[in-house]
Amino acid sequence: MKTIIIVSLLLHAALASAQEMEKFRPLFNGKDLTGWTGEGYVVEDGFIVCTPNGKNLMTEATFSSYILDFDFKLEPGTNNGLGIHYPGDGDGAYTGMELQILDNYADKWKDLKDYQYHGSMYTLLPAKKEGLKPAGEWNNQRVVVVDTSIKVVLNGHSILDANLAELSEKHPKHEGVKRRSGRIAFLGHGDKISFRNINIFEIAAPANEADLKATDYTKIFSGSDLIGWKYESTGDHNWFATNGILKHTGKKGATNDLWTNESYKDFTMVFDWRWAGTGEKKMQPIVMPDGSDKLGANGKKELAEIEELDSGIYLRGASKCQINLWNWTCGSGEIYGYRTDPKQSPAVKAACTPKRKADRPLGEWNQTIITVKGDTVNVSLNGETVIENAILAGMPAEGPIGLQHHGQAIDFANIWVKRQ
C-alpha cells in the first residue's frame, strides 16, 4: 500500500508546476559529458546530440527509484531509446528495459508493432500514441520509476503505466524486466536527436517514521542537509543531501569519512543504503563460515572475482569496530577488523562473519539494523540476522558513529538511532 501511495504522489509531481523542479538536480551540466560514458554523442549549443556513430550513452551512476525529467527534439524518422535499469553492457532493451524514443509520424515507421512506438517498453508493453510533437519541436518527458512501477508522461499526457512484476510473469525470459536498479541511458541507432534539461529527483526507500518515533528512535539525518554531521575535506565536498538521500559521489581524495557530532554508548541504529555506482572487477578471498579464508588443495587462498564495492559503519569512533557494507562473498555485516585479527579466538572470528549473504542485488536498497550493547554487537540485514552476539573486546565505551568513504558511490537514507 505504501508503494502505491508513493507512486500516486510522484505521478502528481510529474504533472506539477516548475516549482517542483527545485527538488530536481541536473544529470547534464550543459557543457560536456561529465557523469556520462559511451560513444557517438557530442555536446552542441548546450544540448547532447546523437551523431551518426551514436550507440549507447549512459550515466556513470546507478539509480533505483526516481523521477527523470528531460527534453528531446526529434529529426524526421529519428529512432532512439531511453534505457532504464541498464547494467552497462549488452543490448539495453533486454539486459535493461528500453522506452522507445521515436518519430511516430515518419512514414517509414507506419508498420511497426505496437510496442515499438514512442514511449513503449520495447517488446513488453505499448504506450498510448498521444502527446508527441512533430519532428523539429521540443518535447518534455517525465519517467517515474518506483519499485515495480514505471509511468511515462509526455508533454502532460500520461502514455504508459507499467507493472514490472506483472510483465516479468508474462515475459519470464526477459532479464531486464526483473531488475530494480541500474544506469540511465540513451540507446542510439545513429539517428540525430537532441537532449536538454536532463534532471532527476531521486527517491529514498520508504520508512515508517511513526513506528520509529513511537519506539524512541531519533532521526539523525534530516534528509535535506548535513547538520549533525562532520568531516574533513581536502577539496570538493563529495557528501551531499538530496530529497531524503545522503550521497557520496565515490570520488577519492577529497572528502573523508562522515561522522556524527554526537557520541553514543549503547544504541540501536536503523538505516537504508544502496550502491549508487559501479566498482572494478577484482579477485578477493572466499570467506568461510568460521571466518577463515577458503584454501585450495595447494594450500593457497581461493579467490573469487567480485565487483569491488566497499563502505561501512564505524562504531563508537573506532575504525576496527566497523560493520562492513561490501560485495565480498560473505556479504555485508562482517566485522573485518576482528575477523582477521590473529589475536582473536576462533569463536570471535566466527561470530564476526555473516551467517549468510543477505544483500539485495547491487543498486537496490538494503535495510540494516545494528545493536551495540557493552562490547556485544548484533546485525540484521534485510530482516535476517547476519551477526549474532559478536564480542568486540576493546571497543571504546563511547564514541561517534561514522559512515565510511572507501572510493565507491553509495547512498544512505532513513538513518535513525535509539539510545539504550
* pLDDT on residue 10: 52
Which cell goes with 79?
529512432
Task: Answer whether residue 16 shows pLDDT above 80.
Answer: no
Task: Answer whether residue 8 shows pLDDT above 60.
Answer: no
Per-residue pLDDT band at 23 (split at 50, 70, 90) = confident
* pLDDT on residue 135: 97
- Comparing CA positions, the residue from 112, 108, 153, 99 lying closest to residue 135 is 108
Q: Which CATH architecture describes the domain 2-202?
A: Sandwich (2.60)
* pLDDT on residue 388: 98
Show me where the domains of the chain are located.
2-202, 209-419
Residues 209-419: name the CATH superfamily: Exo-inulinase; domain 1 (2.60.120.560)
* pLDDT on residue 254: 58
Q: How many CB atoms lie within 10 A of CB 79?
A: 21
Average pLDDT over residues 74-93: 96
Angle among Cα 57, 60, 65 to the nearest 5 degrees reads: 100
Topology alike, domains 2-202 and 209-419: yes
Task: Answer whether residue 14 shows pLDDT above 50.
Answer: no
Per-residue pLDDT band at 40 (split at 50, 70, 90) = very high
> Helices marked H in 215-345 — which ranges?
336-339
* pLDDT on residue 153: 97
Average pLDDT over residues 65-85: 97
pLDDT tens by residue, 349-361: 999 999 999 999 9
**What is the C-alpha separation between 59 and 164, in angstroms, rounded?**
22
Least trusted range by pLDDT, from 125-129, 198-202, 229-233: 229-233
Task: Answer whether residue 235 shows pLDDT above 80.
Answer: no
Q: How many CB atoms lie within 10 A of CB 7?
A: 21
Task: Answer whether residue 161 shows pLDDT above 60.
Answer: yes
Task: Answer whether residue 15 shows pLDDT above 50.
Answer: no
Q: What percent of the chain has pLDDT over 90?
A: 86
Q: What percent of the chain has pLDDT over 70?
A: 93
* pLDDT on residue 220: 97
**What is the C-alpha separation between 110 and 108, in angstroms, rounded?**
6
**What is the C-alpha separation between 391 and 402, in angstroms, rounded?**
20
In which residue are the cell numbers 567480485 written?
306
| pLDDT higher at 11 or 409 | 409
Average pLDDT over residues 196-220: 92
Please, is 253 exposed, middle or buried when counting C-beta atoms within 10 Å of its C-beta (0-12, 13-18, 19+)? Answer: exposed
* pLDDT on residue 255: 59
Task: Answer whether residue 87 shows pLDDT above 70.
Answer: yes
pLDDT tens by residue, 264-320: 999 999 999 999 999 999 999 999 999 999 999 998 999 999 999 999 999 999 999
What is the edge-to-edge ordering of all strands in the sheet holding 79-86? 36-38, 56-59, 183-187, 79-86, 97-102
Per-residue pLDDT band at 163 (split at 50, 70, 90) = very high
Mean of pLDDT over the chain:
92
**What is the C-alpha separation between 103 and 134, in angstroms, rounded?**
8
pLDDT tens by residue, 360-406: 999 999 999 999 999 999 999 999 999 999 999 999 999 999 999 88
